[in-house]
Amino acid sequence: MTRRWRRGSRPIAPNRRQASRSGLVTTTERSVGPDQIIGILGGGQLGRMLALAGAKLGLRCQVLAPEPESPAFDVVRRITEADYSDEVALARFAEDVDIVTYEFENVPDKAARFLSSRLTVRPGPRALTVSQDRVVEKTFARDCGLGVPDFEPVDDEADLDRALARLGRPAVLKTRRFGYDGKGQAVIRDGDDAAAAFSSIGRQPAILEAFVPFIREISVIVVRGADGEIRHYDPVENVHRDGILRTSTVPARMTPEQANEAARMGEVLAEKLDYVGVLAVELFVTADGGLVVNEMAPRVHNSGHWTEAACHCSQFENHMRAVAGLPLGSTARHSDAVMENLIGADVEAWRAIAAESGAVLHLYGKRDQRDGRKMGHVTRLTQLT
């Protein structure tokens, strides 16, 4: 892929370290505040929101992403348009920033490890290694003493038949890697053709999970600082449609004991990973009141978008604080909230939403509207209960 380093249409000056050595930067030109340059791997809406949050703190951001016209490109100081496997581009990127983070969990862990040999990467590459493979992820959570669905790895149809014989039906077949928003998944029920289900996910290495008869889905967002301090946001109740998150509501319908346990589970995972930054953990609430880990995401998360409108310090700002080694901000909530994703044509109502009292609209600046694509979100606030 062609590598492009650019900031708008203007020529790019030498990177900051080179400029400092050449005398182009003086102490009088430094900004008041952290004055760090944060490199972000990934240029989607999460990278965009991270950069916006970092700007409030005086942090400047540079994005590396392979997709042209990525949403984050509009709001950062400089972009590197290159593939994550391009080590020449990665090396140049590392020379031009102080710390690296990432906006999504499918950044190749090899790229994160390459960068971590040159500068600090937060969260560390191990978080990517664990979260990118569902078998590794479930094994890790189980080894941390947390409840997970019973599961079996599946590499071929014979494995699938053996796994179904042990776990029974219904069961959920998922690709081990790269699934998101319900993609790469198939539920196998009584009478279903298992081979057809395996074909539907591309006959890729997979995991078969026992079906969890949950009554609701929740998630908890925790943040762990570079000094080991850890805080959490109130757990939220999530509603999915067609595999895509539609709404996140806080407070969730759960007991204080369940809320405390959800936070504890997120904190355990963050501690075991020696994690720095925001970590999201999706959980099932079962009929007996138990909590089961569905998956974790080593990044800011869609189910935490409400925090930018309903909390004193959003998940995005707290992630940037943690990455930069700054004190964590308050995770307290000042309002109840319902966050709704604007997916595809939903975004066409943006003008009416903008006129709503108590509604906080956030559009992602995407130019290509299509079915199933997240174009923005709205958070509707009500009085704290």
Task: Using DSSP bridges, classify how beta strands 78-81 and 60-65 pair: parallel, antiparallel or unpaired.
Answer: parallel
Question: For residue 43, what is the DSSP state?
Answer: -
CB under 8 Å to 249, separation ≥6 — which residues?
A: 236, 237, 238, 239, 337, 338, 339
- Residue 211 marked ligand-binding: yes
3-state secondary structure of 15: coil
φ, ψ at 151 (rounded to 5°): -150, 165
Establish whether 134 is an annotated binding residue. Answer: yes
C-alpha torsion 338→44→320→142, nearest 10: 70
Contacts of 21 (CB under 8 A, 6+ apart): none
Phi and psi of 341, rounded to 5°? Answer: -75, 140
Ligand-binding annotation for 183, yes or no, is yes
Q: Which residues contact 265 (CB under 8 A, 6 or more apart)?
A: 146, 220, 281, 283, 291, 293
Q: Residue 185, annotated ligand binder?
A: yes
Contact 195, 157 (CB under 8 A): yes
324 membership: H or E segment, kind and range: helix 315-324
Distance CA 61, CA 37 (A): 5
CB 218 within 8 A of CB 281: no
- Tell me if 179 is assigned to a ligand binding site: yes
Is 184 annotated as ligand-binding? yes
Contacts of 214 (CB under 8 A, 6+ apart): 284, 285, 286, 287, 292
State how far the Cα of 238 lies from the Cα of 283, in Å rounded to an integer. 10
For residue 59, which phi and psi values (nearest 5 degrees)?
-85, 135
Is residue 217 a known part of a binding site? yes
Distance CA 107, CA 298 (A): 11
Q: Which residues are annotated as a binding site for ATP?
A: 134, 174, 179-185, 209-212, 217, 240, 294-295
Q: Which residues are annotated as a binding site?
A: 134, 174, 179-185, 209-212, 217, 240, 294-295
